[in-house]
Structure 1
Amino acid sequence: MKQVQNIVIVGGGTAGWLTAGVIAARHQGRRNHGFSVTLVESPNVPIIGVGEGTWPTLRTTLRKIGVSETEFFRQCDGAFKQGARFNRWTTGAADDGYYHPLMLPQGFARVNLAPHWLAEGEGSFCDAVTPQGQLCDAGLAPKTIATPEYEALANYAYHLDAGKFSAFLQRHCCETLGVNHVLADVTQARMADNGDVAALETAQGPVVEGDLFIDCTGFRALLIEGAMGVPFRSCADVLFCDTALAVQVPYDDPADTVACHTISTAQSAGWVWDIGLPTRRGVGHVYSSSHISDDQAERELRAYIGPAADGLSVRKIPIRAGHRDTFWKGNVVAVGLAAGFLEPLEASAIVLIELSAKMIAEQLPPNRAVMDVLARRYNATTQYRWGRIIDFLKLHYALTKRTDTGFWRDNCRAETIPDRLRDLMELWKYQAPWLHDEFDRAEEVFPAASYQYVLYGMGHRTHAPPGEGDAEVELARRAWRENRVQTARMMEGLPRHRDLLEKIVQHGMQPV
């Protein structure tokens, strides 16, 4: 019945410091009653620091832990993200492209526009139901300088410098939220008689005791694998990409346009990400080493970048696609890369950290007696989330019409498509996804709208009538009219992305 009072997080980076911030902010009222959050970080292990794309959830997370959005932009080389554009994923042609925006389709809670658009809509599905694709094409921001912090005119997430973000979170956690920071190399875990971790021994001498340990040690997985022996479950048979080459590309001109969306461009055996920050672009090639050599992958990356790639060094990052069999065992929880990793196609890494930290903070066990009950709940929810992300990433590959290389042909083989996704793809031949039709759990990470954007962006056809009754037809047409009006208003009233970023740095946004 021992109280859970001392939370120990092992490892820094985005996973460690974001988890520390979420837990410490949630339990600030307990600090005077013996509650503590301690983060143990090696002074000798660099962070991975590649992931630069986020979800809109991060706005809520940062707001809850008390971060100024203005200071976030100033200190993290932040930019706005309004979605992702996928180029050459369907046919490989030069004009092949579609958006997965962050705004829901117009009137989404009232009417499913997908079957109506399939029957009589014009242009792309994205442009028919939301302004956001056109905002991205025009390089416009999702808000104005008069819009308060964290509020939006068009839904948005962030692009950020991961190294600067970790340092920013560290300062906030230590200076504002009272997180204890221990710089030390963990050498081994002292185990209790019941199989829990009792304390951590370090090379520098301090022994760190705790009641609950959170493993944020990245691919090393010092606690969840090293101490608890939890195995890793590969999904390389579904998602083939196992290597990334990353490079930082300077702008030719400091006034160059900053893209307000992630650009994902398909290659012969993978894809290139292109993320715009105010001071540089983060560009990388994610690929399958079974289908292409490292040298050829680097040549494709440099060809994508063009002359700006001359003289730039490329960093190679292995990708071990999959996740732990169990995420919480005993009194150890794995978060971040220690829990698993998937290719960054839909920027799911940081949101999984957020969701994990939020669930741990909200359901923190009061004592050891009930910890296993909460661990089972946590494991079930987290397993479900990882499975649905794997499904959604695979959907991008399974819908392709490309047959020009073995990589694209292999991705369409039925045995590489998870059973649940295969069933849904069969259902979507006759029924357009919408709200709770197939997405009825609170743990859904991608809503039905996300599936619509990918399905119809990649040319999938659902053979279904648009619904019965004139009332529904009128709802659909009204939604289209509303979307046209909203698009015109936003195109006229929103500032250029770089202009807004410069104003935020100079003047700041109105605090909430």
Structure 2
Amino acid sequence: MKVKQIAIIGGGTAGWLVANHLAVELRAESDIEITVIESPEIGIIGVGEGTVPHIKKSLQKFGISEADLLATCDATFKVGIKFVDWMEQSKEQSSWYYHPFASPFPGGVDATALYQQHAHAMQFSDFCESATLAESLRSPKQISSLEYEGEVNYAYHFNAVKFGQLLAKNAREKWNVKHQHATIIGAQCDELGAIQHVIYKDGQRQAFDFYVDCSGFQSILLGKALNVKLIDKSSQILTDSALAVQIPTTSNASLAPYTLAKAHSAGWIWDIPLINRRGVGFVYSSAHLSESQAIEGLSHYLQIDADQLSPRKIPMRMGYREKFWHQNVVALGLAQGFVEPLEATSIFVTDFAAELFASHFSTNKENMSIASEYCNRVVTYAWERVIDFVQLHYYLSNRKDSDFWIDNTKNSKLSDVLSERLAMWRFISPKKSDFFSRFDLFDVDNFLFVLYGMKFNTRDKTMTTYEEQYFRKELDKIRQRSHRLSKELLDHRDWLNQFHHAYKTAFERR
């Protein structure tokens, strides 16, 4: 039996991402109709404003121009994340480091031995240009750069609500995705346990052949109707709450081309610059900090009186569904799982899982079980490794100034995979071959920047004189290019101002 009617329950970033992925994959199937059912009563979380470079591939695949993204979503560039205060401050050790979107292998060779011998005098991010450009507030692109290309790799910060609207417009106009406004309150299963039809708030019922659950933390279909359990990961990731605010900025305020992740006594603060505002969030563990203390901490960071703040509180349930594809339902976004947004994981995992599902989706119902079993294994593996990577940031900290940091190190529960990797990396630096699966969404490059950014100790590797000379030459090339680009590239704000002026002029001439 062929699938002809697909319903996506919920809009927002997750719903419209999968709508585009599915529509692209099924574009030759003229008899298939995709409908996004979006509730006018339920808002979206809307704080996932940071991305990783993988999003560029999806946007190009959908046929969305970078110019339209920058012009309509209050977008800025992101060349990485700057971590501040994740380690104790001392005279010998910096309290900040960068995780850039770059490879730390100058000339394509492993130069970690050079860093290990000179860690007291350099940052590991010196092995790429991104950190220097970020510190000097440079744009990653020249004025003449082609779309989705730059002098260094980059992603974006954007207004999540406007990003969802851009995806929706593209799906409707370019890929003929239908859009329906209605509130779904439940579903009815058939005798085989599959979803037979959804139930609307007004009592009406409607049947589709396949359903994509993007209903957020409610997980109306996969979680409630099909009773697929959530695998709780709160013992590994201790943060469970966030306070989010939006702070207006002036049109000439400087723009950092990075996300700031600043640690505090019971979690961390995100600070994301958009064109006209900052998105700021105070992530914390409610077991270690009360809500009133969290508001006070956010107030102190923003230098705004606490009584003038009206933060939005976001409860965070750490974990993922034991299956993301069951029967005739796939769950994506928050309906599938969530881990705190330290490394822009939410949109990344959603985009990855949506692409995986769409590329393995068969319009023949009889063939779905094989694809679903495979995809479930892949997504489970991806979630486990993402949780490992997020937990790594806390586990490596040498902070002992609060119970929160002590609990993240002394009392931590690591996965067997992460425990094995860390034990191995104590005597040999991480290698590409340590990440044997292409579904390690964060691989050796990402781990190296965090491990060595947080002064992880690996036994020094002896270098030959030739090797040291070669590595130093490569490092000098990077420093020279960093210096040149910091002079050539425009200030981040100036580049965006010139872009918006040119975009507006071109629009007015149409």
Normalised to the residue count of structure 2, the TM-score between the two structures is: 0.95
Show the counterpart of 2:18: 19
Is the 1:319–1:343 Cα contact (8 Å) retained in structure 2? yes
Partner of 1:442, secondary structure, is: coil
* 8 Å Cα contact 1:116-1:466 kept in structure 2: no
Query: Counterpart of 1:141?
Result: 139
Q: Secondary structure at the match of 1:482?
A: helix
Match of 1:481 in 2: 476
State the secondary structure of the residue aligned to 1:289.
coil
**1:19, 1:354 within 8 Å by CA — same for their partners in 2?**
yes
1:369 aligns with 2:366: yes
| Alpha-carbon distance in 1 for matches of 2:412, 2:265 | 21
Percent of matched pairs sharing the same residue: 35
Q: Match for residue 334 of structure 1? A: 331
Q: 1:384 to 1:466 in 2, by over 3 A?
A: farther
1:2-13 correspondence runs (5 A): 2-13=1-12
* Per-residue CA distance 1:58-104 (angstroms, 9 max, x = gap): 11111110111111111111010110011000115695100000111
What is residue 452 of structure 1 aligned with on the other side? Answer: 448
Instruction: Describe the SS at the equivalent of 2:193.
Output: coil
- Rounded to whole Å, the distance in 1 between the matches of 2:368 and 2:256 is 45
> 1:7: how far off?
2.0
Residue 71 of structure 2 is aligned to residue 74 of structure 1: yes
* Superposition RMSD in Å: 1.9
Equivalent in the alignment of 1:88: 85
Change (3 A) 1:270 1:426: same
Q: Which amino acid aligns with 1:28?
A: R
How far apart in 2 are the matches of 1:358 and 1:242? 28
Name the CA distance, whole Å, in 2 between partners of 1:447 and 1:380.
18
Contact 1:92 1:266 in 2 (8 A): no
Return the offset for 1:316.
0.5
Cα deviation digits, residues 285-335 of structure 1 (max 9, x gap): 000000011101111111011148772321111011111111111111110
Q: Tell me which residue corresponds to 1:462.
A: 458
- Tell me the secondary structure at the aligned position of residue 28 of structure 2: helix
Q: 1:350 aligns with which of 343, 347, 371?
A: 347
**Aligned equivalents of 2:69 and 2:229: distance in 1?**
37
Letter in 1 for 2:374: R
1:232: which partner in 2? 230
Q: 1:418 aligns with which of 415, 419, 430?
A: 415
1:106–1:480 CA contact under 8 A, matched in 2: no
Matched, 1:41 2:38: yes
Distance in 1, Cα, partners of 2:305 & 2:156:
25
1:491 aligns with 2:490: no
User: SS of the residue aligned with 2:432?
Assistant: coil
Verify the 8 A CA contact 1:80 1:141 in the aligned structure 2: yes
Partners of 2:53 and 2:227 in 1: CA distance: 35
1:374 aligns to what SS in structure 2? Answer: helix
- Matched to 1:499, the amino acid is D
For the residue of structure 1 that corresponds to 2:170, the secondary structure is helix
Q: Which region of structure 1 is more displaced relative to structure 2, 230-239 or 190-199?
A: 190-199
Higher mean alpha-carbon deviation, 120-129 vs 363-372, is at 120-129
Q: Provide the aligned length of Structure 1 versus Structure 2.
A: 503
> Counterpart of 1:97 in structure 2: which amino acid?
W
On the 8 A contact 2:99/2:450 being kept in 1, the answer is: yes
Q: Is the 8 A contact 1:111 1:475 kept in 2?
A: no
1:475 positional shift: 4.1
Relative to structure 2, which stretch is displaced further, 267-276 or 500-509? 500-509
**1:281 and 2:254 correspond:** no
Q: Which amino acid aligns with 2:294?
A: A
**1:220 matches 2:218:** yes
Query: Displacement, 1:47?
Result: 0.7
Moved more, 271-280 or 412-421: 412-421
Mean CA deviation greater in 500-509 or 396-405: 500-509
Cα distance in 1, alignment partners of residues 299 and 127 from structure 2: 36
Determine which of 441, 461, 485 is the counterpart of 2:437.
441
What TM-score does the superposition give when structure 1 sets the normalisation length? 0.94
Equivalent residue for 1:189?
A: 187
Instruction: Mark the runs of 5 or more structure 1 residues left unpaired by the alignment.
Output: none
CA distance in 1, matches of 2:119, 2:297: 37
Deviation at 1:119, TM superposition (A): 2.0
Letter in 1 for 2:275: P
2: CA distance between counterparts of 1:121 and 1:491?
A: 24
Cα distance in 2 between the residues matched to 1:329 and 1:124: 50
Compute the displacement of 1:482 (Å).
2.4
User: Does structure 1 residue 263 correspond to structure 2 residue 260?
Assistant: yes
